[in-house]
A and B are shown apart, each in its own frame.
Chain A
């Protein structure tokens, strides 16, 4: 069995892990790195529950191999809050009750964060299409969209 030793940056920290060529970034995050915030909803890129930000782009961690992230930067939900201060998206999700069971939430937060970085003043329709890769079965998306729009407004106002 052949394993690779990989060093990468996760949420700003240098980490290293070993993995086989088949293991995905999702396997590595949840297994080798024991960071269970990124969820496995399907493993085939159809639900978005494993969305992480990889070298600045939102991707499904289940469709990235562990071996290829050598030297890369990965951001997961565990890195969103900074030292006890939640990211505006996290706070707005709570304020708007934009989660019920919460299992899709980490993926949606990452996707929304990446989306707002590219499109800081979106319309409702743009938010809906931006989040189309994140399935939620509990909320019907209504409060999620409101939370994202509200977070966008707050982030524009505070210049972040």
Chain B
């Protein structure tokens, strides 16, 4: 049964009450640091002040002697693991690296790298104890820039790392872990056919996800080996898996409960303090609470990569893009694993370009290990590709949307890495943007308008759901996905739609790892898609069981029963006098007639659909200071089907504003010793309410045929084109190309002065 083409839904697509909302507006909801476990100790981490150094020795004796300190550990307390071997999966995260990121072993590799940890009876004592740990370092030269790091003379972070994916095999270790390339057609021929060729270099700086709630966890170890963990995370099953593997423990012995989560955006997809807290709890026999300060979050949790892209694109006079070539260096931070494969996949994926070549380099530098951030690998690739396309449009004298329409992919086309597009809504999205008021609104003085288009494929993957029918006809829906943005609303909307009962009779919860099979992260825009799909299947199993119950009750064949509007309805052929039974009535009979009714589903959801987000931004630039003020912002996005339109809009608006921050002011700033200078929200400048306008989120629905309700992931696509759109607006306001993010006022002012010196704009 596929509801893809239905439009007369009762709950799906409606603005319904959010089930966790009241607890959040009253302060009752409990986030990572809102849990108090009796007897808990407080842990603090000693962090490296050096960007690159050998650890010669660590003396913890003075810290251990401090009254109130119950345990002090170094990496010696955490098992070592072998490196991964080729061939490597597209996304590599190996335990060798993760254990070292959790606590440094031979070397420290970034300012803020964890070196040791203390558990004490108060946070003040733990902070004091950390200062008493003496570490002997041999400071080594450091490298921050990915191009420099990729070069032959750079200090090498990992002596065992030889670049994978190049021929001939290298003889010297390198900071470049891997090269991933993709190509199709004949790039030389493609450029030969072009009438206009654009060639640019684009750079972007690392930016942090910027979640307002710092990382926090409490680990409670029992003497029999069981562990209870409370943590703020996007994926408690992943946390459990990583802790078990890192610490060589049995998975079933670790039970992780996800707290409410105060933002993640990909940054809470992995372990930081959890394995350390577990070890400290095991050693002390007491629960151990570990919370990062904001400064630690910036110094030691993963931002997304900075990038350097060299790009060339060629097009014919009529706007047909004939060739596109890109070479991109992504900074992985201290350990390999930036998502270069995603870069290759997403660079030119919105366009039917016959001749493409992309080479991507995963480069280690002395910065914190990167983590995912909302469409990892895509926004910087899009920044370059869309920047080149906007310049092409300008030089061809073609409208920016028309150039994209001319080259847009449609159903059945293939991306560079071979992903075949099913039903997609790209043309719909572009045409909707073109028809929008914003497109033809007049611009004021010193204002410019920008356009960009982003692509993202969302995840599917493993999700497990159990639906439990209570005997009063209410339904509990247990999923394994932390709720970051209101997904509990969507889960129960889909369940209510399937069952045909009032949505308020359905109570969704996020269950712990002991109560459900594996569910993958709330990330990758996969939750409404994959977990929603599992909710639908689990609900259908409940319906099947209810129909079986009715069949038993009526003594007719179950094939003669259908489920309609919350009732089991007998076919007329089954006989007269059989009255339909409601869910509530059947639920009340269940226990007496066989037992409680539950439905469950454990799936590996395939069929992810591509999503496209087209954005238009107006900015005003102060010509004397370079100050940029976004004035109007429109996003048109294909969302498949908006189960909870309020929250779909919210995802779009949030992603757009993150993009504004990325484009204008966010960046990591280091001193000459590679120590992070802006470790707080004062100088890591995220947009505040007065920095941005309303974000007009226009939802286009081209249902994804692979999901019962047509869902496409919506969380990530809105960030992908946002930096490019804002940049294009600034370019048009200022009258020259801008290629280096962030477009902070000094850079914009410089550009303005350059245009004036060259004799005026355009």
- Decide: B25 and A105 in contact? CB cutoff 8 A: yes
- Decide: B212 and A137 in contact? CB cutoff 8 A: yes
Q: Is A42 an interface residue (CB 8 A)?
A: yes
Per the 8 Å Cβ criterion, residues 1-38 of B in contact with A are: 15, 17-18, 20-22, 24-31, 33-34, 36
Interface-central residue, B20, B27, B484, by most chain A CB under 10 Å: B27
Given A42-B294, A46-B680, A141-B657, A101–B213 Cβ distance below 8 Å? yes
Q: Is B210 an interface residue (CB 8 A)?
A: yes
Q: Is A139 an interface residue (CB 8 A)?
A: yes
Per the 8 Å Cβ criterion, residues 692-736 of B in contact with A are: 692, 694-695
Given A102-B260, A103-B212, A132–B484 Cβ distance below 8 Å? no
Interface-central residue, B30, B680, B688, B694, by most chain A CB under 10 Å: B688
In the assembled complex, which residues on chain B have CB atoms less than 8 Å from the CB atom of A104? 212, 262
Given A37-B26, A101-B484, A142–B653 Cβ distance below 8 Å? yes
Contact of B27 among A37, A44, A124 (CB under 8 A): A37
Q: Is A47 an interface residue (CB 8 A)?
A: yes
- Decide: A94 and B689 in contact? CB cutoff 8 A: no
Rounded to whole Å, the gap between the CB of B495 and the closest CB of chain A is: 20
Q: Is B485 an interface residue (CB 8 A)?
A: yes
Residue of B nearest to A78 (CB): B27
Rounded to whole Å, the gap between the CB of A51 and the closest CB of chain B is: 12
- Decide: B25 and A109 in contact? CB cutoff 8 A: yes
Rounded to whole Å, the gap between the CB of A89 and the closest CB of chain B is: 8
Q: Is A140 an interface residue (CB 8 A)?
A: yes
Q: Mark B191-228, 1 if CB is under 8 A from A, else 0.
A: 00000000000000000011111100000000000000
Residue of A nearest to B212 (CB): A41
Per the 8 Å Cβ criterion, residues 91-116 of A in contact with B are: 93-94, 96-97, 99-106, 109
Rounded to whole Å, the gap between the CB of B40 and the closest CB of chain A is: 12
Per the 8 Å Cβ criterion, residues 109-159 of A in contact with B are: 109, 124-125, 127-129, 131-145
A103–B17 Cα gap in the complex (Å)? 19
Per the 8 Å Cβ criterion, residues 79-95 of A in contact with B are: 80-81, 86, 90, 93-94
- Decide: A138 and B25 in contact? CB cutoff 8 A: no
- Decide: A141 and B262 in contact? CB cutoff 8 A: no
- Decide: A41 and B294 in contact? CB cutoff 8 A: yes
- Decide: B25 and A137 in contact? CB cutoff 8 A: no
Rounded to whole Å, the gap between the CB of B176 and the closest CB of chain A is: 32
- Decide: A86 and B26 in contact? CB cutoff 8 A: yes
- Decide: A140 and B690 in contact? CB cutoff 8 A: no
Per the 8 Å Cβ criterion, residues 1-45 of A in contact with B are: 20, 22, 30, 34-44
- Decide: A94 and B681 in contact? CB cutoff 8 A: no
Rounded to whole Å, the gap between the CB of B264 and the closest CB of chain A is: 8
A47–B213 Cα gap in the complex (Å)? 10
Q: Is A77 an interface residue (CB 8 A)?
A: yes
A40–B211 Cα gap in the complex (Å)? 12
Per the 8 Å Cβ criterion, residues 655-693 of B in contact with A are: 655-658, 680-682, 686-690, 692
Q: Is B646 an interface residue (CB 8 A)?
A: yes
Q: Is B647 an interface residue (CB 8 A)?
A: yes
A147–B390 Cα gap in the complex (Å)? 37
Q: Is A59 an interface residue (CB 8 A)?
A: no
Residue of B nearest to A143 (CB): B650
- Decide: B214 and A40 in contact? CB cutoff 8 A: yes
Q: Is B737 an interface residue (CB 8 A)?
A: no
- Decide: B25 and A140 in contact? CB cutoff 8 A: no
A77–B686 Cα gap in the complex (Å)? 25
A30–B650 Cα gap in the complex (Å)? 29
A124–B262 Cα gap in the complex (Å)? 26
In the assembled complex, which residues on chain B have CB atoms less than 8 Å from the CB atom of A97? 15, 18, 486, 646-647, 649-650
Interface-central residue, A77, A96, A100, A102, by most chain B CB under 10 Å: A102
Given A37-B26, A90-B26, A101–B36 Cβ distance below 8 Å? no
A97–B697 Cα gap in the complex (Å)? 14
Contact of A94 among B25, B31, B211, B214 (CB under 8 A): B25
Residue of A nearest to B645 (CB): A97
Interface size class of A (residues with CB under 8 A): 35 or more
Interface size on B, residues (CB 8 A): 57
Contact of B689 among A44, A78, A144 (CB under 8 A): A144
Q: Is B377 an interface residue (CB 8 A)?
A: no
Q: Is B654 an interface residue (CB 8 A)?
A: yes
- Decide: A36 and B213 in contact? CB cutoff 8 A: no
- Decide: A77 and B26 in contact? CB cutoff 8 A: yes
Contact of B694 among A38, A76, A135, A142 (CB under 8 A): A142
- Decide: A137 and B28 in contact? CB cutoff 8 A: no
Contact of A42 among B24, B264, B657, B680 (CB under 8 A): B680
Q: Is B612 an interface residue (CB 8 A)?
A: no
Q: Is B263 an interface residue (CB 8 A)?
A: yes
In the assembled complex, which residues on chain A have CB atoms less than 8 Å from the CB atom of B293? 43
Q: Is A53 an interface residue (CB 8 A)?
A: no
In the assembled complex, which residues on chain B have CB atoms less than 8 Å from the CB atom of A46? 680-682
In the assembled complex, which residues on chain B have CB atoms less than 8 Å from the CB atom of A40? 33, 214
A124–B631 Cα gap in the complex (Å)? 13
In the assembled complex, which residues on chain B have CB atoms less than 8 Å from the CB atom of A43? 293-294
A126–B212 Cα gap in the complex (Å)? 23
Per the 8 Å Cβ criterion, residues 629-653 of B in contact with A are: 646-647, 649-651, 653
- Decide: A132 and B650 in contact? CB cutoff 8 A: no
Q: Is B72 an interface residue (CB 8 A)?
A: no
In the assembled complex, which residues on chain B have CB atoms less than 8 Å from the CB atom of A86? 22, 25-26
Q: Is B265 an interface residue (CB 8 A)?
A: yes
- Decide: A137 and B21 in contact? CB cutoff 8 A: no
Residue of B nearest to A34 (CB): B36
Q: Is B261 an interface residue (CB 8 A)?
A: yes
A47–B25 Cα gap in the complex (Å)? 18
- Decide: A42 and B681 in contact? CB cutoff 8 A: yes
A120–B26 Cα gap in the complex (Å)? 22
Q: Is A49 an interface residue (CB 8 A)?
A: yes
Contact of B654 among A124, A127, A133, A138 (CB under 8 A): A138
In the assembled complex, which residues on chain A have CB atoms less than 8 Å from the CB atom of B686? 135, 137
Q: Mark B482-493, 1 if CB is under 8 A from A, else 0.
A: 001110000000
Minimum-distance CB pairs A-B, first 8? A37-B27, A103-B262, A102-B24, A140-B657, A97-B646, A140-B653, A46-B681, A77-B27
Name 7 interchain pairs, CB-CB below 8 A, sorted by A.
A77-B26, A99-B24, A102-B29, A132-B690, A139-B654, A140-B657, A143-B649
Given pairs A131-B690, A132-B689, 14 additional interface contacts (CB within 8 A): A36-B31, A78-B28, A86-B22, A101-B211, A101-B264, A101-B484, A103-B31, A127-B689, A135-B210, A140-B650, A140-B653, A142-B649, A142-B694, A143-B653
Chain A positions near chain B (C-beta within 8 angstroms):
20, 22, 30, 34-44, 46-47, 49, 76-78, 80-81, 86, 90, 93-94, 96-97, 99-106, 109, 124-125, 127-129, 131-145
